[in-house]
Amino acid sequence: GAVVSQHPSWVICKSGTSVKIECRSLDFQATTMFWYRQFPKQSLMLMATSNEGSKATYEQGVEKDKFLINHASLTLSTLTVTSAHPEDSSFYICSARPRLAQTYNEQFFGPGTRLTVL
């Protein structure tokens, strides 16, 4: 149980295009999903917190108009990188907190999406 999937697992796009990444909780409902970004040899950096049915809250320094987050259902959150540039190339990872979490800080991570912008 407690499986989180991401699609696609990797994507290559041209500079200036938009890319959508999906994060799904497969066997549980998630009231909250988190989006992280990880550059090589660096730590995961939290980008935003997504609550079902409400607007995402973004961490300081993360452009909300560039990284659009939609959490339309209890099992799906999407991250759209708009007008992608090479510096957006990174590993994007989501995590999901179960609606019926045993502890408030329980969350499960997806496998990540490797984005390469040419």
Partner 1 sequence: SQKIEQNSEALNIQEGKTATLTCNYTNYSPAYLQWYRQDPGRGPVFLLLIRENEKEKRKERLKVTFDTTLKQSLFHITASQPADSATYLCALDGTTDSWGKLQFGAGTQVVVTP
Residues lying near partner 1 in the complex (CB under 8 A) are found at 4, 6, 32, 34, 36, 41-46, 49, 91, 93, 95, 97, 103-105, 107-112, 114
CA distances from 114 to 27, 59, 60, 72 (A): 24, 21, 23, 23
Question: Which of 87, 104 has the CB closer to partner 1?
Answer: 104
As a whole number of angstroms, the distance between CA 59 and CA 81 comes to: 16
Pick from 19, 105, 50, 28: nearest CA to 7: 19
Closest approach of partner 1 to the CB of residue 4, in Å? 8
Question: Which of 10, 118 has the CB closer to partner 1?
Answer: 10
Closest approach of partner 1 to the CB of residue 22, in Å? 14
Question: Which of 54, 105 has the CB closer to partner 1?
Answer: 105
Closest approach of partner 1 to the CB of residue 30, in Å? 11
CA distances from 66 to 17, 69, 81, 104 (A): 11, 10, 6, 30
